[in-house]
């Protein structure tokens, strides 16, 4: 981590002239790095939304949208995780028009929810998977449900030993 003060000297003068002098540094949590790295993976499928953002969209579509969302989150029925004191949900799990949970994603979620929490499940969808030929599960959501279910099942079986 770079932590420079006004009294620090850099050995290479050209570097010293391009770097501002910092009195404080900002620590970057590894979870922050993972969160930011997941963003491009989900961009094509609606990205990530906070619970508040999704609640507003749901309220526009249906009566009691926010309370239904809160009930589903509390019941462990949705993929969600906490990051910087906000609830985040990957939008790929919802039908873009109705915001109902996609049936295929729900099947996959059921396979791995017992061995992973919401943060880990979200990462699972954003990481290349050997059983999918190196593709990320989120990239295969419009393909064969069997391939995705087999990848999820294999990870569940490995995790349970």
How crowded is residue 135: how many other Cβ atoms within 10 Å of its Cβ?
Answer: 15
Task: Please list the pLDDT of the chain residue by residue as tens digits (161 residues).
Answer: 333 333 333 333 444 444 445 445 556 689 999 999 999 999 999 999 999 999 999 888 877 778 888 999 999 999 999 999 999 999 999 998 889 899 999 999 999 999 999 999 999 999 999 999 999 999 999 988 999 999 999 999 999 88
If you count them, how many residues does the chain have?
161
CA–CA dist 14, 90 (Å, integer): 44
Positive or negative CA dihedral for 80, 59, 44, 139?
positive
Q: How many CB atoms lie within 10 A of CB 93?
A: 24
CA distances from 132 to 5, 35, 105, 128, 137 (A): 49, 22, 16, 8, 7
Task: Identify the three-state secondary structure at position 15.
Answer: helix
What is the chain's Cα-based Rg? Answer: 20
């Amino acid at each position: 981590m770079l932590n420079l003060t006004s009294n620090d000297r850099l050995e290479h003068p050209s570097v010293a002239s391009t770097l501002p002098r910092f009195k404080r540094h900002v620590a970057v949590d590894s979870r922050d790095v993972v969160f930011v790295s997941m963003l491009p993976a989900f961009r094509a499928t609606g990205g990530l939304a906070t619970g508040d953002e999704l609640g507003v969209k749901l309220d526009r579509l249906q009566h009691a949208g926010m309370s239904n969302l809160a009930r589903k989150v509390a019941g462990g029925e949705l993929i969600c995780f906490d990051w910087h004191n906000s609830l985040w949900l990957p939008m790929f799990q919802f039908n873009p028009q109705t915001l109902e949970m996609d049936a295929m994603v729900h099947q996959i979620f059921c396979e791995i929810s017992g061995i992973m929490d919401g943060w880990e499940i979200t990462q699972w969808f954003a990481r290349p998977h050997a059983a999918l030929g190196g593709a990320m599960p989120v990239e295969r959501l419009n393909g064969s449900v069997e391939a995705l279910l087999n990848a999820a099942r294999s990870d569940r079986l490995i995790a349970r030993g």
